[in-house]
Homo-oligomer: A and B are copies of this chain.
Amino acid sequence: MRIGELAARGGTTARAVRYYESLGLLPGRRSGNGYRTYDEDDLRLLRQIRTLQDFGFGLEETRPFVECLRAGHPEGDSCPASLAVYRRKLGELDALIGELTAVRAQVADQLARAERARDELAAEAGVPGGPEPECELGGRAT
């Protein structure tokens, strides 16, 4: 098949396929007229790349999987190097999730504190006159 069909069946674009080829992830075989030509095995390579991409892997991280498939193994993760990438990624994900969770808590704290401060000011000013905590410049042009 040609690049358009490969891309469509792999759920991506011809441009991306050429890019993967430029990185050495996909082969660049040509048929007589100069068009790139692919077979079902190439489609498996592409699908392996896309799956890992969807997981948030960088393209370089997909290389061990692709080379594993190219070496004739049944799955991209049949090789130790691929398993190592999985494990490293798990660690990175855990670290990232941990950081994000901590940030989330801090932001929630800030929000709660700011809302409390706002309400206190509102109550304080609400007893005498009108509150309306305007902030954006030029509330209503008088």
Q: Residues on A close to B: CB < 8 A?
A: 55-56, 67-68, 71, 73, 75, 77-83, 86-87, 89-90, 93-94, 96-97, 100-101, 103-104, 106-108, 110-111, 114-115, 117-118, 133, 135-137
Q: Are the CB atoms of A80 and B115 closer together than 8 Å?
A: no
14 pairs, A vs B, C-beta closer than 8 Å: A67-B135, A71-B135, A75-B114, A77-B114, A78-B114, A83-B111, A83-B115, A86-B107, A86-B114, A93-B100, A93-B107, A94-B104, A97-B97, A100-B100
Q: A78-B117, A103-B56, A104-B97 are in contact. Are A110 and B86 (CB under 8 A)?
A: yes
The residue that A96 contacts in the complex, of B89, B100, B114, with Cβ under 8 A, is: B100
Q: Are the CB atoms of B114 and A81 closer together than 8 Å?
A: no
Q: Are the CB atoms of B90 and A104 closer together than 8 Å?
A: yes
Beyond contacts A67-B137, A93-B100, A100-B100: 13 other A-B pairs, Cβ-Cβ < 8 A, are: A55-B107, A56-B100, A68-B135, A71-B137, A75-B117, A77-B110, A78-B114, A86-B110, A86-B114, A87-B111, A90-B108, A93-B103, A97-B104
Q: A100-B93, A117-B78 are in contact. Are A111 and B86 (CB under 8 A)?
A: yes
The residue that A78 contacts in the complex, of B89, B100, B135, with Cβ under 8 A, is: B135
Complex: chain B residue closest to A94, CB-CB: B104
